[in-house]
A = this chain, B = another copy of it.
Amino acid sequence: MRPVNASIITIGDELLIGQTIDTNSAFIAGELNKAGIWVRRRVAVGDVYEDIRIALDEEKKESDIIIITGGLGPTADDITKPLLCDYFGGKLVLNEEVLAHVIHLFEKVYRRPGPLLERNRKQAEVPDVCTVLHNARGTAPGMWFTQENRIFISLPGVPHEMKGLMSSEVMPRLQHAFADRLPAILHRTLFTAGIGESMLAELLQDYESRLPEWIKMAYLPNYGMVKLRLTAKGTDIVTLEKDIEPWYQELQQLANDYLVSPEDEGMEVVIGKLLKGNGKTVSTAESCTGGHIAQLITSVPGSSAYFKGGIVSYANEAKMNLLGVSAQILETKGAVSEETVQQMVQGALEQLKTDYAVAVSGIMGPDGGTEEKPVGTVWIAVGKPGKTQTLRLQFRFDRQRNISLTAINALNMLRKFIIANG
């Protein structure tokens, strides 16, 4: 069984001047990978006719599938579609179905007054040698070409539209086209916190060396957490599921002290499940994270079942008036102190009437540090009525990263507290 290879080509000057972070490639790669298609290379080129052509030539040498994103928007430089016509030997024709869809979107969904703009009308033009892929979420259609046993797919660069096309059109068609060549692929992910990548690798050194050829393990560090992923490849998914299980179980045991979840899910999802399972509620009292902890908790659909609310007490005044932190504590111990976060937690519990609360106060930088409390100093408290736990941490990064790390550590501490005080 010859493996199926793919390349992703992203088009757009904005990718080469650093204005846009390419999130599309990661999504596309993830979808292909789940289906057992190996992405060999990702290439980003500018809005330059010749560079796009060269990239197509290069990638089709080794890849069965070439997915192209970008270059199709209403203000694009009109390079991609003419190029695809030249490349596949067709000409641009107005597609009536696409046009009807574009008109529908502008009239009914966007409710834009006046006649259709010429630049939007042109979005309904497609090379007459492609299969049109319906873009339910936008005006630029996807396009599917075949040439010398290769499949070329052109998708709009708007992430929301590209994602819709990948799920509804691209993946089903690819799975059909390569049904006889796709291996079974299985991922098992563990999610750890509180241990660095090196120490974890040390802990798992022996385990890793014993892994059979058909299982690969990857370390995926991300802001105070490390994901461990086992990838198994075989011919039959049922056999794989059975065979990987003991390895997966052993990994969970080895990483047990740091295990947040045996699944590929964020800390906020784990906490949500814990609270939902217990029928308990939580609230937040944030100073330095400015609402980020509440935002993480509420990023989970259905979080209103366990999150009642939070208080962002940035000013000392807010700490006193909304959370009942005492003026004396603020004066003698300071806003970034164990006593302050203790009172913040108890204040949140009282004000929001929840079973648990988490509070943070710190100095995120770049300014505001002192010798005693340098930038990166953070106090975290978690608690329930009558019981509070505190922790002091010291980060050494920039403002944004300090905020992220504070939030994730506070959530991890909350998670452990809920488990221990369930």
A17 within 8 A of B: yes
* Count, chain A residues at interface, CB 8 A: 96
Number of copies of this kind of chain in the complex: 2
Chain B residues in 8 Å Cβ range of A295: 289-292, 295
A55, closest chain B residue (CB): B41
Instruction: Evaluate contact between B18 and A27: CB separation under 8 angstroms.
Output: yes
A20 within 8 A of B: yes
CA of A22 to CA of B396 in the docked complex: distance in angstroms?
23
A351 within 8 A of B: yes
Instruction: Evaluate contact between A309 and B284: CB separation under 8 angstroms.
Output: no
A367 within 8 A of B: yes
Instruction: Evaluate contact between B43 and A43: CB separation under 8 angstroms.
Output: yes
A111, closest chain B residue (CB): B394
A314, closest chain B residue (CB): B309
A40 within 8 A of B: yes
Instruction: Evaluate contact between A351 and B321: CB separation under 8 angstroms.
Output: yes
A257 within 8 A of B: no
9-residue interface stretch from A142-150, A172-180, A297-305, A413-421:
A297-305
Instruction: Evaluate contact between B308 and A310: CB separation under 8 angstroms.
Output: no
A307 within 8 A of B: yes
A206 within 8 A of B: no
Instruction: Evaluate contact between B298 and A294: CB separation under 8 angstroms.
Output: no
CA of A218 to CA of B313 in the docked complex: distance in angstroms?
40
Instruction: Evaluate contact between A21 and B26: CB separation under 8 angstroms.
Output: yes
Instruction: Evaluate contact between A297 and B290: CB separation under 8 angstroms.
Output: yes
9-residue interface stretch from A29-37, A84-92, A125-133, A242-250:
A29-37
Give A42 Cβ to nearest chain B Cβ, in Å: 4
9-residue interface stretch from A325-333, A378-386, A397-405:
A397-405
Instruction: Evaluate contact between A17 and B39: CB separation under 8 angstroms.
Output: yes
Chain B residues in 8 Å Cβ range of A160: 397-398, 401
Give A197 Cβ to nearest chain B Cβ, in Å: 6
Tell me the interface secondary structure of chain A in the complex: mixed
CA of A38 to CA of B26 in the docked complex: distance in angstroms?
24
Considering only residues 102-160 of chain A, those with a C-beta below 8 Å from chain B are 109-110, 112, 117, 119-120, 160
A275 within 8 A of B: no
Instruction: Evaluate contact between B218 and A19: CB separation under 8 angstroms.
Output: yes
CA of A93 to CA of B311 in the docked complex: distance in angstroms?
55
A202 within 8 A of B: yes
A294/B290 contact (C-beta < 8 A), A19-B30, A198-B120, A322-B351 known = yes
Instruction: Evaluate contact between A29 and B41: CB separation under 8 angstroms.
Output: no
Partner of A15, one of B19, B29, B58, B120: B29
Instruction: Evaluate contact between B310 and A312: CB separation under 8 angstroms.
Output: yes
Max chain B Cβ within 10 angstroms of own Cβ: one of A197, A292, A365, A397: A292
CA of A112 to CA of B198 in the docked complex: distance in angstroms?
11
CA of A199 to CA of B106 in the docked complex: distance in angstroms?
12
CA of A201 to CA of B117 in the docked complex: distance in angstroms?
10
Give A80 Cβ to nearest chain B Cβ, in Å: 16
Chain B residues in 8 Å Cβ range of A120: 198
A353 within 8 A of B: yes
Chain B residues in 8 Å Cβ range of A117: 198, 202
Instruction: Evaluate contact between B308 and A298: CB separation under 8 angstroms.
Output: no
A219 within 8 A of B: yes
A43/B42 contact (C-beta < 8 A), A75-B201, A198-B75, A399-B301 known = yes
Give A279 Cβ to nearest chain B Cβ, in Å: 15
A367/B301 contact (C-beta < 8 A), A43-B41, A313-B309 known = yes
Chain B residues in 8 Å Cβ range of A83: none
- 12 pairs of residues in contact across A and B, judged by CB atoms under 8 Å: A16-B38, A17-B33, A19-B218, A40-B51, A74-B201, A75-B197, A109-B396, A119-B202, A160-B398, A290-B307, A308-B317, A311-B311
Closest 8 CB pairs of A and B: A18-B30, A290-B298, A291-B291, A291-B294, A309-B318, A42-B44, A18-B29, A310-B312
